[in-house]
Amino acid sequence: MPGAAGEPEPGTIPEPEPGTRGGGRERRADARRNITAILDAALECLARDPQASIADIARAAGVGRVTLYGHFASRAELIDAAFVYLLRHAGETLDAVDLTGSPRDALIRLVASSWPIIDRFRTALAAAERELPPERIRAHHDEPLRRVRVLIDRGQQDGVFRSDLPADWLVAIFYGILHGAAGEINAGRLQAADAARVITATLLAAYTPPGRAVPPGRAVPPGRAVPPGGAVPPGGAVPPAP
């Protein structure tokens, strides 16, 4: 079982068994390269086809099936590890998002940075949803969603986001809407080009305190950025990202 005592967490690069003298170091380096190649290939293959097989992934990684199974005992275990690997790299990207200033504008920036990642790997997410229990997928999001909770807490304290509902519920809404959008695109009911605008408008409507006017859902266009700490200019016009 992934993550059991004595085993590496899924998505990490486990240490192979130590060898002797310099050869052991080389084997460990080779194993790390293989694992990274397998995880990268798994994400790319699953992004194209959620039904991608172990053979497809091994071929894309440039390794044999025996080598792949030496690191991941099953397709489900590989998908679990690849999902964690993806979230870890996504977290590094989202750590760079400026969440200071207006909580509402910070939310727009966070959606603008989060959605392209989900959109690119939404079929990989679909594969994970087929292979893994829902509670495990949700648990994998605990760390990425922590930044959402911090932002919502600040928005509630500033009176920008509604405080009549628990912050944890507003976090769940963020999670549900982004993943729901991925499912709607896969089902052909939502255009990918419209997703960021729809997500932003829905979240702003859900988070605005009762009795207040809901601000327009102004998604950040691709390649643009909301000024750090500043408001989105009228009409959603924003300067080019640096």
Complete domains list, the chain, with CATH: 1-74 (1.10.10.60), 97-235 (1.10.357)
**Does the structure show a pLDDT above 50 at 15?**
no
Q: pTM value?
A: 0.70
Question: Each residue of 160-214: pLDDT tens digit?
Answer: 999 999 999 999 999 899 989 988 988 899 998 899 999 999 999 999 999 999 8
Q: Going by C-beta distance under 8 Å and a sequence separation of 6 or more, which residues neighbour residue 49?
A: 56, 123
Of 45, 189, 64, 71, the C-alpha closest to 123 is 45
Give the residue carrying structure tokens 């397709």.
75
